[in-house]
Every structure is written in structure tokens, then in C-alpha cells.
């Protein structure tokens, strides 16, 4: 019999909280069992293994990010939309570092296709319509934005920018200015 209150959804939420506290790489079924004060064996009626738990946390993180991005982008276009999307990723990473890492977790193709990851790409493509990009440049730009957002956030969170002036907010703003200028003046093939 399953322990009262333990569901895959609750365990995923607790696992996501654990990821934010100890790091996504340290989330296991055993660690989760300690957190909810049960034996690990009792969780296997809800979770297959640690990979299943980590996949569930990744899907939760992608969903949370997509919901935040959709709210932030409502009614915005151009640079305003670009800045809103970028800030969603940066703010989420600061608030939920373990979940942010989880959002980068490699999912199998079927799981990825059914995840909120597709919403992220759709929202980014919607922003790019304001810059009048067509394929294949639109795909190149989606990849560029993802790389810059993730790269900057990862370096900043790792302390990579903490040793020199100006402060990281100034650099972030200038980076977004540069991305906007690049998207408005996308080079021809």
C-alpha cells in the first residue's frame, strides 16, 4: 500500500526543491526518501528509478519556465519581448538553480517532443517574427539566443563574472542590446 500523501507529483516537487538546495546532480531516490522520511523501497511504487525522478524534475522545470515566459511575453514584441524572455531565464536560474540545471537534462526524443520544451522554441520563434527572420536564419537565431542566455547565466551563477567591474547587470543589459542589434541587422547568407 502506498504511503498517504506520496504521489509522483508530490515527489517530483520535493525532488525539485531538493535539487535547488543540493544541486540537480545530487538528486537520487535515496536522497528523496531521506527528505520525505521513508525507506527508498517505498518510493518505487511511484518512481521507477533516479533517472525517472530526474526526468520528472526536468519536465516540471521546463513547464515552469514556459509558463513564466508566456506570462512575461504577453503583449510584448521586439526588444521588449527579447529582454522579457532573457530575464525569465536568468531570474529562474537565480531562484531555482537546481531546476534550471534540470531544464538542460537530456530527454529521450519522445519525452522531449511532448514536453514544454516545444513551447520554449515556439515563443522564441514568435519573438523572432518581430525581427523579420525566415528559415533557416530563424533556427540559427533560436540557437544563438539559447546559447547566449544559457552561457551567460551559467557563467554568472558559477562566479565567472564576479572578479571584475562593471557589474553583471550592466553587462547583461549590454548583451541584450547587442543581441537586439544583431537580430535587426542579421547578416545575409
Domain-embedded: residue 51: no
| Mean pLDDT (the chain, rounded) | 93
Range of the domain at 166: 59-185
* Model confidence at 41: pLDDT above 90: no
- Alpha-carbon 50 to chain mean position: 20
Domain-embedded: residue 141: yes
Domain-embedded: residue 13: no
Number of neighbouring beta carbons within 10 Å of residue 108: 8
Task: Give this prediction's pTM.
Answer: 0.91
Domain-embedded: residue 27: no
**51-81, pLDDT tens digit by residue?**
999 999 999 999 999 999 999 999 999 999 9
Q: Which residues contact 186 (CB under 8 A, 6 or more apart)?
A: 131, 133, 137, 141
How many structural domains is the chain composed of? Answer: 1
CATH number at residue 176: 1.10.357.10
Nearest to 144 by CA among 126, 171, 125: 125
Is residue 62 within 8 A of residue 106, CB to CB? The reply is no
Domain-embedded: residue 37: no
Domain-embedded: residue 112: yes
Domain-embedded: residue 18: no
Amino acid at each position: 500500500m502506498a504511503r498517504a500523501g506520496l504521489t509522483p507529483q508530490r515527489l517530483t516537487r520535493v525532488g525539485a526543491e531538493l535539487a535547488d538546495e543540493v544541486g540537480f546532480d545530487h538528486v537520487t531516490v535515496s536522497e528523496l526518501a531521506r527528505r520525505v522520511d521513508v525507506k527508498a523501497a517505498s518510493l518505487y511504487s511511484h518512481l521507477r528509478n533516479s533517472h525517472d525522478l530526474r526526468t520528472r524534475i526536468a519536465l516540471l522545470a521546463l513547464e515552469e519556465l514556459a509558463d513564466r515566459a508566456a506570462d512575461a511575453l504577453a503583449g510584448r514584441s521586439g526588444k521588449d519581448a527579447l529582454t522579457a524572455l532573457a530575464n525569465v531565464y536568468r531570474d529562474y536560474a537565480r531562484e531555482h538553480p537546481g531546476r534550471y540545471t534540470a531544464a538542460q537534462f537530456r530527454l529521450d526524443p519522445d519525452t522531449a517532443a511532448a514536453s514544454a520544451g516545444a513551447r520554449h522554441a515556439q515563443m522564441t520563434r514568435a519573438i523572432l517574427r518581430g525581427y523579420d527572420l525566415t528559415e533557416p536564419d530563424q533556427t540559427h537565431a533560436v540557437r544563438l539566443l539559447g546559447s547566449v542566455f544559457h552561457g551567460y547565466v551559467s557563467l554568472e551563477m558559477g562566479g565567472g563574472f564576479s572578479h571584475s567591474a562593471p557589474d553583471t547587470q550592466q553587462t547583461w543589459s549590454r548583451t541584450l542590446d547587442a543581441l537586439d542589434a544583431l537580430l535587426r541587422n542579421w547578416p545575409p547568407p
